[in-house]
Amino acid sequence: MELKERFYSSKQEFVFLAILILSILPFLILHYFNQPTSEDFIYGEETRRIGFVKEYKVLYKYWGGRYFGYILMFINPLYLKSIAGYKVITFILMILFFYMQYLFINEFTKKNLRFRERVVFTLSVFFLYLYFMPSVGQGFYWWVSAIFYHVGLMLLMLFCIFYSRQSEDNNGKSKLLYTVLCAITIAAIAGSNELAAATILILMFILFIKSIFIDRKFRIADLFLAGVTLISVYYTYAAPGNIQRGKQYENSQNFMFSLESTFSFIFKELLTWTFFTPLLIITFILIPLLIKLASGSEETKSTYRINPLFSLVSLLIIIFLNVFLTFWSLGIPPYDRILNVSYFIFLMGWFYNVIVLMHYFKSKYEFDLQRLPGYSYTIALVLLVAFMFKENNIKTAYAEVVGGDAYHYNKELNDRYQFISESKSDTVVVDTISNVPKSFFLLDIFTDPELFYNKGYAMFFNKKAIIIRKNDD
């Protein structure tokens, strides 16, 4: 039996699918125990107090240029005083993220892969993301962060789908429709966060270069989309709030420091992502699918028929820019929520580059992987299981669900809410949360009632002030 069919017609496929699905399960369960951070509370209360329009202007002027992200941020169940709604909406957002990832992979593989194979591919990438993403809590369980960063990633994937259809469709009306959808999506991407804005800017530049020098086509639509990109990105970066935030960091806008720090940081992260995760093992297991894509129809192969060097450099430029801009604007390494974005882009870019490389070698040197023995997949699965015993997010998530850490964290915060609600005093002193599972992200209140975070908490519970009890030690 050919390699393309051998693995996906055997018991090995069942084992592989079981590992992938069971790896996602604890992260879905954790949403039941999820809780808002102190920052989540304030935005709904501020909007209620001063109104949507005024709050929107305040954020753009003093916080940053995330003009689209702020709109989504106001769709906050805490505005309706619903903590249960907060759990539900973060759960839905995680499901949407996976679904959008499937739609993205489906768009570029549907002509060569069966439905089951596309699902396996999607689950594999999602597994790798969950396994080693820098911060699961900031990625999926913190509403504000997820709205800015994960929605930005979803919009980037949606743009790629629309752009692909716009480029390939010869029907005038359909091409116009997808061009308009691309433009709307670009504006939303640029308004999600500053890194998404930079990413769509460099991505449009790469696509423009590919269109002119590789596809040998000049598209008026690309010029229009480039204009939309420039205007949208300008509107994001020109926000007064970006300047205000940059002044808070000592090494911000230090070019040499940013350049050196970025190279060092990226080199270390790329090594870690490649060799200290199951990436190489998953890539090996997916070889049958990757070969199918590299050997597909001429129409499909055009997606991967580019110089591998161009493809690789494009990916590295996007990752470099994401990290560099953080060092440049803040003077510090990327926060974990920012690094989540870079890691996801790396994973998607990795598999694209592997397919490009396979297509290149197959077309140039008649490269063929059909002779790999079937037992090699069994070895790969054993190695994958071994990786699950290392410290990773999946192992941690299971431990916190089964061991009760997530339950006690949820109970501790619910008890705090009840204590605050039943207190007759306008000023309430609460204990610090002693048990914060690693899978969650808790930005708690402080001992100073005048802090931004404490005020939001107090407004939510209709108190004059809520503070953390001072530690006598």
Query: Which structure tokens are listed for 322?
Result: 């994401």
Residue 4's pLDDT is 47
- Judged against a pLDDT cut of 70, whether residue 30 lies above it is answered with yes
Residue 368's pLDDT is 59
Burial category of 373 from C-beta neighbours within 10 Å (exposed 0-12, middle 13-18, buried 19 and up): exposed
Residue 232's pLDDT is 96
Mean confidence (pLDDT) of the chain: 89
Residues 31 and 146 in one domain: yes
The pLDDT-based confidence of 363 (bands split at 50, 70, 90) is confident
Indicate whether 184 belongs to any domain: yes
Nearest-angstrom CA–CA distance, 202 and 190: 12
Residue 163's pLDDT is 95
Nearest-angstrom CA–CA distance, 437 and 418: 21
Indicate whether 223 belongs to any domain: yes
The pLDDT-based confidence of 11 (bands split at 50, 70, 90) is confident
Residues 281 and 411 in one domain: no
Residue ranges making up the domain that contains 348: 3-401
Nearest-angstrom CA–CA distance, 462 and 197: 38
- Judged against a pLDDT cut of 90, whether residue 21 lies above it is answered with yes
161-177 burial: b if 16+ Cβ within 10 Å, else e: bbbbbbbeeeeeeebee
Residues 322 and 269 in one domain: yes
Q: If you ran DSSP here, which 8-state letter would residue 432 be given? A: P
Residues 351 and 432 in one domain: no
Residues 244 and 148 in one domain: yes
Residues 312 and 447 in one domain: no
| Measured CA angle at 276 (ends 271, 281), to 5 deg | 110
Nearest-angstrom CA–CA distance, 73 and 380: 42
Residues 269 and 304 in one domain: yes
- Judged against a pLDDT cut of 70, whether residue 203 lies above it is answered with yes
Q: At what angle do helices 38-50 and 52-62 cross, to 10 degrees?
A: 130
Q: What is the 3-state secondary structure (H, E, C) of 162-195?
A: HHHHHHHCCCHHHHHHHHHHHHHHHHHHHCCCHH
Residues 424 and 338 in one domain: no
Other Cβ atoms within 10 Å of 318 Cβ, number = 18
pLDDT (mean) for 198-221: 88
The pLDDT-based confidence of 300 (bands split at 50, 70, 90) is low
Residue 372's pLDDT is 61
Other Cβ atoms within 10 Å of 98 Cβ, number = 17
Which residue in this structure is represented by tokens 């519970």?
461
Closest CA to 184 of 128, 225, 235: 225
Indicate whether 303 belongs to any domain: yes
Residue 250's pLDDT is 66
The pLDDT-based confidence of 244 (bands split at 50, 70, 90) is low
Indicate whether 99 belongs to any domain: yes
Query: Which domain-ending residue is among 343, 375, 401?
Result: 401
Number of domains in the chain: 2
Q: In degrees rounded to 5, what are phi and psi of residue 372?
A: -65, 130
Residues 434 and 324 in one domain: no
- Judged against a pLDDT cut of 70, whether residue 297 lies above it is answered with no
What is the reported pTM?
0.94
Query: Which domain-ending residue is among 379, 401, 423?
Result: 401
Query: Which domain-ending residue is among 401, 431, 452?
Result: 401
Indicate whether 473 belongs to any domain: no
Read off the pLDDT of residues 124-183 as tens digits, 9 standing for 90 and up: 999 999 999 999 999 999 999 999 999 999 999 999 999 999 988 677 789 999 999 999
Residues 335 and 418 in one domain: no
Residues 387 and 419 in one domain: no
Residues 454 and 352 in one domain: no
Residue 430, beta-bridge partner list: 468
Indicate whether 277 belongs to any domain: yes
